[in-house]
């Protein structure tokens, strides 16, 4: 079936989470994604394993809709295979540590020379230049350095990492936008280009509204925050709404760790909330009549809402509050989500068969295209498609593939110099 990215071939050297997030989305959108792995495989295949000797969920949930080929890029014959693959792909992707690709002899200049039409997409922690360029990065490093951790957490607690993987997956989604833009530009110019996303930059982009607050502080305290005293940087906001309306997470019955509902007290819904929780008297209480006084008295307001919430479960409250048009959302645990009817209806949790694992759950595609419906296909086993790809894409004969194999192009240890006989020299 024709898909949005049918006809686009991606050579995906990415590993761990940031890059694979992007290439998995490209695969789901219809691109032919060839995951090129070292002979030992993407390191996540073996990380956080829950079933002995089977690919981990860390790997299988980030590498669906891809084919896998193993190539030893430190082996001369492996380099030759890589060069041939670059010639017949539209996009090449990587998120190695700083300098890795250059050491392998495949930086942007070299790849561009091999295929001037190729789009090369790269993720680094901090980009290719500047004082931090040489540093490696993981999710929480990017959250720490991009402004997320300093603005997340309890008002008087330590900086806190958010569970949403904004450094890794967030950067992957940014990279997807960059790749698609570069492919569209290529349609006009015929030229490829280098697309670079730094994790720190992407986290900053996702923290944009915190820089709004950073500048507003110069002109006085920020009334939507429940703290009273400000320094000269955006503070942690706990569960304060951070927008133009007051909001907070309110504890519900029976008081478990996720028995909360997030309530936004929109200006025009306050009279309805007040009537529902405290009757006509509360609706005209001068402490709360408009958002300005409500901000000043917000603790008293949250106490009243909290007293009401404590008599209901989060699901009862969701119904009660939605009936009077109050924007609200129960805090949903992972268990709530995988069992949720709405989530299931939107195909946001899918069950996939896997030859080593049996069935496993994956998150569905959050991008819904009416003419390119998503179909999620299980992740490949290590090197599952090596021969198929070499044969089908590069036209390599079986005997040549065998020779490459014997020369160490797909195996762990590079062959000794005297064992290396380039067949096609």
Ligand X SMILES: CC(C)(COP(=O)(O)OP(=O)(O)OC[C@H]1O[C@@H](n2cnc3c(N)ncnc32)[C@H](O)[C@@H]1OP(=O)(O)O)[C@@H](O)C(=O)NCCC(=O)NCCS
| Residues forming the site for ligand X (CB under 6 A) | 16-18, 38, 71-74, 95-97, 100, 103-104, 123-125, 136-138, 168
The residue (of 71 and 118) whose beta carbon lies closer to ligand X is 71
C-alpha angle with apex 171: 29 to 237, nearest 5 degrees?
A: 125
Q: Do the strands 246-251 and 260-265 form a parallel or antiparallel pair, or are they unpaired?
A: antiparallel
Residue 232 a catalytic site member? no
Q: Where are the alpha helices (DSSP H) in 90-249?
A: 100-104, 108-114, 139-145, 169-189, 199-206, 208-216
Residue 411: both structure tokens together? 């195996």
| CB atoms near residue 153 (< 10 Å) | 17
Indicate the SS3 state at residue 249. Answer: strand
The residue (of 71 and 274) whose beta carbon lies closer to ligand X is 71
Cβ of residue 405: shortest distance to ligand X, in angstroms? 15
Cα 215 to Cα 220, 397, 421, distances in angstroms: 10, 63, 64
Cβ of residue 415: shortest distance to ligand X, in angstroms? 13
What are the percentages of helix, strand and coil residues in the chain, rounded to 5?
A: 40, 15, 50
The residue (of 94 and 224) whose beta carbon lies closer to ligand X is 94
* CA separation for the pair 371, 264 (Å, rounded): 36
Place of tokens 């792995």: 37
Question: Which residue has the closest beta carbon to ligand X?
Answer: 97
Cβ of residue 44: shortest distance to ligand X, in angstroms? 9
Cα 360 to Cα 66, 334, 373, distances in angstroms: 17, 15, 21
Beta-carbon contacts of 344 under 8 Å, excluding residues fewer than 6 positions away, are none
Strands (E), 266-366: 328-330, 349-352, 360-363
The residue (of 141 and 250) whose beta carbon lies closer to ligand X is 141
The residue (of 74 and 275) whose beta carbon lies closer to ligand X is 74
* CA separation for the pair 425, 423 (Å, rounded): 6
Q: Of 32, 168, 213, 259, which is the active-site residue? A: 168
The residue (of 138 and 194) whose beta carbon lies closer to ligand X is 138
Cβ of residue 37: shortest distance to ligand X, in angstroms? 6
Cβ of residue 42: shortest distance to ligand X, in angstroms? 9
Cβ of residue 162: shortest distance to ligand X, in angstroms? 16
Q: Is the backbone peptide bond immediately before 254 cis, with ω within 30 degrees of 0?
A: yes
Query: Which residues are catalytic, by number?
Result: 168
């Amino acid at each position: 079936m024709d898909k949005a990215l049918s006809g686009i071939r991606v050579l995906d050297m990415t590993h761990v989470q940031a890059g694979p997030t992007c290439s998995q989305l490209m695969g789901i959108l219809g691109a032919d994604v060839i995951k090129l792995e070292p002979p030992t495989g993407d390191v996540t295949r073996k990380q956080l394993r829950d079933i002995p000797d089977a690919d981990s969920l860390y790997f299988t949930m980030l590498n669906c809709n891809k084919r896998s080929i193993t190539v030893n890029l430190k082996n001369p014959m492996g380099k030759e295979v890589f060069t041939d693959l670059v010639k017949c792909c539209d996009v090449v992707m990587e998120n190695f540590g700083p300098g890795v690709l250059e050491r392998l002899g495949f930086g942007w200049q070299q790849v561009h020379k091999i295929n001037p039409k190729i789009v090369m997409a790269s993720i680094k922690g901090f980009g290719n230049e500047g004082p931090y360029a040489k540093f490696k990065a993981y999710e929480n490093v990017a959250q720490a350095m991009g402004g997320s951790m300093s603005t997340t957490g309890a008002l008087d607690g330590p900086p806190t990492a958010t569970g949403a993987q904004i450094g890794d997956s967030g950067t992957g989604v940014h990279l997807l936008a960059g790749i698609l833009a570069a492919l569209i530009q290529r349609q006009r110019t015929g030229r490829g280009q280098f697309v670079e996303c730094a994790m720190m930059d992407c986290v900053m982009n996702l923290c944009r509204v915190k820089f709004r607050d950073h500048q507003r502080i110069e002109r006085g305290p920020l009334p939507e925050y429940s703290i009273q005293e400000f320094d000269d940087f955006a503070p942690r906001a706990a569960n304060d709404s951070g927008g133009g309306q007051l909001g907070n997470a309110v504890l519900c019955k029976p008081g478990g760790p996720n028995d909360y509902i997030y309530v936004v007290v929109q200006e025009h819904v306050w009279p309805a909330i007040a009537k529902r929780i405290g009757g006509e008297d509360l609706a005209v209480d001068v402490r709360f009549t408009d958002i300005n006084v409500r901000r000043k008295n917000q603790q008293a307001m949250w106490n009243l809402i909290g007293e009401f919430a404590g008599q209901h479960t989060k699901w009862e409250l969701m119904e009660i509050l939605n009936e009077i048009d109050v924007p609200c959302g129960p805090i949903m645990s992972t268990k709530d989500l995988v069992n949720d009817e709405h989530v299931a209806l939107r195909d946001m949790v899918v069950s996939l068969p896997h030859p080593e694992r049996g069935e496993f759950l994956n998150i569905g595609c959050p991008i819904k295209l009416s003419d390119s419906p998503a179909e999620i296909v299980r992740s490949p086993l290590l090197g599952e498609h090596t021969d198929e790809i070499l044969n089908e894409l590069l036209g390599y004969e079986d005997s040549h593939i065998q020779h490459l194999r014997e020369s160490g192009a797909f195996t762990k240890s590079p062959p000794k110099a005297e064992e290396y006989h380039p067949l096609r020299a």
